[in-house]
Structure 1
Amino acid sequence: MYCVDSRFRNGLEIFFINEVKDFDRDIIVMLHGFPDDAFSFEGQIESLKERFNIIAPFMHGVLNDSELNKNRICPRELIHDILHLLKEVNPNGEKRVYLMGHDLGCFLSTAIAQISSHQIKGIVHINGLGLQQFYSRKYNLNQWIKSYYVLLTQVNIFRFFVTKVFPDFFLNLIYKLSYIEKDHDLYQRDRRVFNSIYIYKYLFRKTFSLIGAPTMKVSVPTLFLWGNRDNFLEIPSLVEVEKFYDKAQVRVLPGGHWVHLSAQDKVNRILENWSGFCHE
């Protein structure tokens, strides 16, 4: 079991897995998606912790039983939480920082790379996209079919049924659709992982600010790792990726939406040898 640490920002605690062992090492920030928590990165933490300092934050409300402050689930606050932690572990901005996100964590990775580009040296997207890249699929019928839940989560009664009435049913359904083995620890997550469902409401509103906005390209090396049977997001094409990233690779592996779990060994081997993690 890992050390779960915390820091306060604006009166609320930010909980995170703290694997900072050697302050001379580069840093990886691992950002989980929905419905999930930071423990799902255990395989990647074990694989990389001898080379990097690693922190893996938990979205508010998914770890403890404290009452969820929904305002801290909005994009701006989530981004500032991560920047606050980065200030703690990289106070002078001298260390190389890499961002690894899964699902909604990829939105945070992209946003932070654009805001704090001076310290971010690489990004890994695991079955996830930056918000502007996702918005660019607005005319993609296949993506809308896969992402119908984004619209449903805008409705209060749907969120209530998912989080309060049938949480076990929906968790099992989501994980089953993601080809997670039935004996995997992910099925032991409880309804608290659904607390971050409110982020869909805020992100949907945020997309309206992208109408007519210029494309924001990410300049640092970026690696997309994607399960070939993802039932929630379409596999990004190289043409699409090149619109938003200057230096990016796409690796498609057997698996579903949690490919870092269903193809853990393959994902870890790719990460261990990815050129984006190599020193300049």
Structure 2
Amino acid sequence: MTVKIVPVSLWETIKLHVLSFIFGVYLIVVRLFKWAWDPKKFFGMVQRDKPPPFMVDNSLGKHSYVKLKSIKLHYVEAGEKDKPLVLLLHGFPDCWLSWREQIPVLSEHYRVVALDLKGFGDSDKPTHTKSYKIDVLIDELHQFILTFGVSRCSIIGHDLGGLLGWYMAALHSDIIYKFVVISSPHPNYYWSGISRNTTFDDKWMHFSRLPFLPEMDALKEDLSVINDTFSHLKINQTTSGKNYVEAYKYAFSRTEDWTGPINYYRNLPFMRLYSIEPISNQTLLIVGNADPSVSLESIIQSSDLVARFNIKVITGAQHFPHQEKPEMVNEVILKFLIGKPSPLEKTPSKGIVSTWLGSLSSTVKYGNQVLDAVQKRTNDVVSGLPNKIHYLGHTTT
């Protein structure tokens, strides 16, 4: 199967640079007004010198490091070493702690490795933009997996980690067993599916390609961007009293803590995946029905590029379903990894679409998105689909 990373067209490249300048000017003007109104608040920052104890103890797993050719990566490992390997890839802005609700459950059945992606957490943070080119990132992830002495592993990725997972599944399908992607469309749809109504919306993504300024913006108002991104944690605070919002603020409290993560967005929008055949790995796509960042249409479009897939919509969840609805997500993931679900055909039938609509009946916004997506795709539905399709435990005739 011919799979390769290809750059976007010259026109798209020019367009991205122009949008970067336009939205950069726009957000700079907006921030100047905020600064002029209350400069003390704008530049206010609480000093955070020590990590919360639960970020460095071994309660969830053993903290370890591995040195590759040009990078040192930090990860947390749990579970017996002779069990199948599951690699967890977090999103933006996040770190290994994103998987705190999944590690204990998965480690009962698997050898679980929750990685700090390059530039995040306690992994090395090279500042040069070229260090975050997609071919470099994927090669390093490939090397990282091989250091565990396994021939295959499964990947669970959220947001940015899911985006990297798509590339791994396409380019290294021989070592990827199953792939779970959460709130992350295929690379060819990822950038067009970003909402305008979120903290890191399309305006900010274009703005992030400018030098220096995005890092300064992320630190403003004592990392208010962390408050906005992880607002669900204020509601779902654990009974143990662990302040996860403060933990994330510690992880992103310095300029260099943002340079690496933002460098992903200075590179990745310019690249796409080209493949003659769909991705062959069994793939589970998970999305919250109230996700303000990812459109369901982009998830459905992504499934068209996978030969064997399942889709699960998490009712009541937004962009972090694995944190907002951990019990439900854990159950779905385990059923997919351990069980042997019958995969869907590449082109969804009207019955499958009905299942999606049933799952989304409580949300008018997502229902409309599905209808739009269906209208665009039903002209392509073929008659050669099987009579019965098993969909995460449901049978559609």
TM-score normalized by the length of structure 1: 0.83
Mean Cα displacement is larger for which, 231-240 or 50-59?
231-240
1:240 paired residue among 301, 318, 323: 301
Displacement after TM superposition at 1:206 (Å): 2.0
Question: Residue type of the partner of 1:76?
Answer: D
Q: Does 1:217 align with 2:278?
A: yes
User: Could you tell me whether the CA contact under 8 Å between 1:241 and 1:248 is conserved in 2?
Assistant: no
Aligned equivalent of 1:104: 160
What's the secondary structure of 1:78's corresponding residue?
helix
What's the secondary structure of 1:7's corresponding residue?
strand
Equivalences, count: 265
Aligned equivalent of 1:271: 333
Aligned equivalent of 2:207: 152
Q: Does 1:43 align with 2:108?
A: no
What's the secondary structure of 1:89's corresponding residue?
coil
Separation in structure 1 between the aligned mates of residue 94 and residue 299 of structure 2, nearest angstrom: 28
Aligned equivalent of 1:29: 87
TM-score normalized by the length of structure 2: 0.60
Aligned ranges for residues 174-193 of structure 1 at < 5 Å? Answer: 174-176=229-231, 179-182=232-235, 183=237, 185-188=243-246, 189-190=248-249, 191=252
User: Could you tell me whether the CA contact under 8 Å between 1:14 and 1:81 is conserved in 2?
Assistant: no
User: Could you tell me whether the CA contact under 8 Å between 2:138 and 2:168 is conserved in 1?
Assistant: yes
What's the secondary structure of 1:251's corresponding residue?
strand
User: Could you tell me whether the CA contact under 8 Å between 2:184 and 2:299 is conserved in 1?
Assistant: no
Separation in structure 2 between the aligned mates of residue 9 and residue 166 of structure 1, nearest angstrom: 37
Unaligned runs of 5+ in 2: 1-58, 342-397
User: Could you tell me whether the CA contact under 8 Å between 1:40 and 1:186 is conserved in 2?
Assistant: no
User: Could you tell me whether the CA contact under 8 Å between 1:127 and 1:233 is conserved in 2?
Assistant: yes
Aligned equivalent of 1:13: 72
Aligned equivalent of 2:263: 198
Separation in structure 2 between the aligned mates of residue 196 and residue 61 of structure 1, nearest angstrom: 6
Identity across the alignment (%): 17
User: Could you tell me whether the CA contact under 8 Å between 2:116 and 2:122 is conserved in 1?
Assistant: no
Question: Residue type of the partner of 2:268?
Answer: L
1:198-234: CA deviations, max 9, x gaps? 1011112224xx6xx5566211111111112212111
Aligned equivalent of 1:76: 135
Displacement after TM superposition at 1:60 (Å): 2.6
Displacement after TM superposition at 1:169 (Å): 0.9
What's the secondary structure of 1:43's corresponding residue?
coil
Unaligned runs of 5+ in 1: none
User: Could you tell me whether the CA contact under 8 Å between 1:104 and 1:129 is conserved in 2?
Assistant: no
